[in-house]
Chain A
Amino acid sequence: MAATRGVPRGSDLPLALPLAAFVLACFVAPLAVLVAVSLHADNELKVWSLAQYARLLGETYSLRLLGETLWLGIESTLVCLVFGYPLAWFAVRAGARVRSTLLFLVVLPILTSVVVRTFSWIVILGKQGVLNALLQGAGLIDEPLKLLFTETGVVMVLAQVQLPLIVLPLMTTLSRIDPNLSSASEALGAGTWRTFLRVTLPLSVPGMVAGSILAFAACVTAFVTQTLIGGARLVYMPLFIYQQAVGANNWPLASAASVLFMLAVLAVVYALNRIGRASRGFIYG
């Protein structure tokens, strides 16, 4: 986002102050309260302590849960990249008509309700679902595969639900790469594969990173998809927080879990950002 040009600068403060106040009161304050509550040992919020963190970080269950949630996000993001990259690649090279049709098809799912999309996957992944019927019809499997309520199922659905988040930034990046670069590479004797791997792919890293950040953040917190496709036995961090907060009414523990979850997600986003920045230096530096 190279916003070097814009509206003329006058005094921005009359506009900036109310905005800052809104963000502080409605976004920062709830998060600050969350952190404060997480630092209490009891539900009455009288005793300050690190007990909740000690409990969460000392238990293998909660640590495994956090790890599995992050891993789920990474797996889904990778699937998104594998399928999203060629889509973006073709969309950028297509004519204006095909391009806008592709864009429309890519955007449509992200704007249909997540509940609707997750629901349609229940129809697809069930024991008598579309996928099992197709695979059995083709003679590829004898017994129906168990896809619903498995991690494989959750990864598939998350990848579909978040695929547009990867395709859009990738298209932006790919369309900004000078086509002369790959022409030059091919004229110098590199084949299509080599040109792609050595020229286009490295140049598109910033787009891949930008998309991955959005997709990852969306996948790990996708409560509806995780609970409906994963079922009651596949618990990820969002469901755990919800159970502790609403079911068990243990606000301090749920707060501490939320804070750890946020920190973990931010750490991954930060790491991805670093990769993005490093790759930009590598391209233009």
Chain B
Amino acid sequence: MAERAPPDLDTLSFRLVFGAIAAIGLVFLVAPTLIVLVTSFTNAATLKFPPPGYSFRWYAALADPDASQIWSAARNSLVIAVCATILSVVIGTAGALVVSGNRAPWARALDALMMSPLVLPALAFGFGCLIYISLIGLSPSLTLLIVGHTVVCFPFVMRTTLASLAQLDPALAEASESLGASRLRAFVKVTLPLIGKGVGAGAFIAFMASFDNVPVSLFLADARTEVLPIHMWQIIDNDLDVRTAAVSGVLIAFTLALMLIAERFAGLTRQLGR
């Protein structure tokens, strides 16, 4: 290697280009969240950035009686997300257990079918739901919203659980069963603790996906069951109310707190990164 290039211009240029793009990408990812967080503390009535001065007035405005619609929408969203998450965990985990490692054609078909809500346009599904329930004579309700959300959220749980199951040694549960544990007991005592983190990470994503869902709620929610993202979308679409920034601030704090909890107990980023 006599004629190796001096301090390797090739490597240097590569690192420079990749580093620059990655840095821009990172700013691109994080800046919007920071900017809206800073803007929410503005003392002005416009969304100017940087704000002319800082205050808590828009957070205080959330406590006003005329903000009650925001709160009831938030309560609806929370109830729906909690229920949809519980259902998603049951269905997603059961689905993963049935499908995992099963090479039978019917299991492959069930796998593909259960994962398809992830790629099919949710808006088309939401509209289909609206037609479906009105044809069978039901009217929009909280229960139907929960079921609709569950359909688009359980694949997240199923995916992370499948990833956990793929790394599990089947000999463990087999050993437990051959030592006399029932199948249920082997599952609860051996399999579940080992895949718990995968289920937990999926549950967290399912919760956020439901809390944030628009395409399904757009068709299934009415005035009584209005959800937060749709209410905010309407506020922003009609007039750029600065209270939206304060709601955004609350939501960011809420997400961050949930994420730290999920990180602590389910190793969220490790689960997602594999």
Real binding pair: yes
Query: In the bound complex, how far is the Cα of B206 from the Cα of A42, in angstroms?
Result: 38
How many angstroms from the CA of A254 to the CA of B123 in the assembled complex? Answer: 11
CB of A180 within 8 Å of the partner chain: no
Query: Could you tell me if B233 and A224 are in contact, using CB atoms closer than 8 angstroms?
Result: yes
A34 interface hit (Cβ, 8 Å): yes
List of B residues within 8 angstroms of A278 by Cβ: none
Contact assessment for B120 and A6 in the assembled complex, using a CB-CB cutoff below 8 Å: no
Is A213 a contact partner of B119 (Cβ separation < 8 A)? yes
Query: What A residues does B218 contact at CB under 8 A?
Result: 223, 242
The complex places the Cα of A192 from the Cα of B7 at a distance, in Å, of 13
- How far is the CB of A47 from the nearest CB of chain B, in Å? 17
Beta-carbon contacts under 8 Å, B235-274 to A: 236-237, 240, 244-245, 247-248, 251-252, 255-256, 258-259, 263, 268-270, 272-274
B19 within 8 A of A: yes
Q: Which residues of A contact B5 (CB under 8 A)?
A: 191
B236 x A223 contact (CB < 8 A): no
Query: What residues of A have a CB within 8 angstroms of the CB of B165 in the complex?
Result: 3, 5-7
* Interface residue from A105, A116, A223 paired with B215 (Cβ < 8 Å): A223
Listed stretches A52-60, A78-86, A135-143; interface member:
A78-86
In the bound complex, how far is the Cα of B101 from the Cα of A110, in angstroms? 30
B-side interface size class: 35 or more
Instruction: Please determine whether B131 and A33 come into contact, CB atoms closer than 8 angstroms.
Output: yes
Q: How far is the CB of B235 from chain A (nearest CB, A)?
A: 9
- CA of A9 to CA of B98, assembled, Å: 9
Residues of chain B within 8 A (CB-CB) of A100 are 269-270
For chain A, the bracket of interface size reads: 35 or more
Residue of B whose beta carbon sits closest to that of A161: B32
Cross-chain contact of B110 among A16, A34, A126 (Cβ < 8 A): A16
Q: Does A8 contact B (CB under 8 A)?
A: yes
A147 at the interface (CB under 8 A from B): no
CA distance A160 to B120 in the complex (A): 21
Q: Which residues of B contact A258 (CB under 8 A)?
A: 121, 123-124, 127-128
Considering the chains assembled together, what is the distance between the CA atoms of A192 and B12 in angstroms?
A: 9
By the criterion CB–CB under 8 Å, are B147 and A26 in contact? Answer: yes
The answer to whether B251 and A112 touch across the interface, beta carbons within 8 angstroms, is: yes
The CA-CA distance from A193 to B14 in the complex, in Å, is 6
User: Which A residues touch B102, using CB under 8 A?
Assistant: 6, 9, 12
A193–B232 CB distance below 8 A: no
Top 3 A-B pairs, shortest CB-CB distance: A6-B101, A30-B128, A120-B36
**Given contacts A121-B32, A130-B35, A238-B121, could you give 7 more A-B pairs where the C-beta distance is less than 8 Å?**
A22-B91, A30-B131, A34-B128, A112-B251, A191-B11, A223-B215, A223-B218
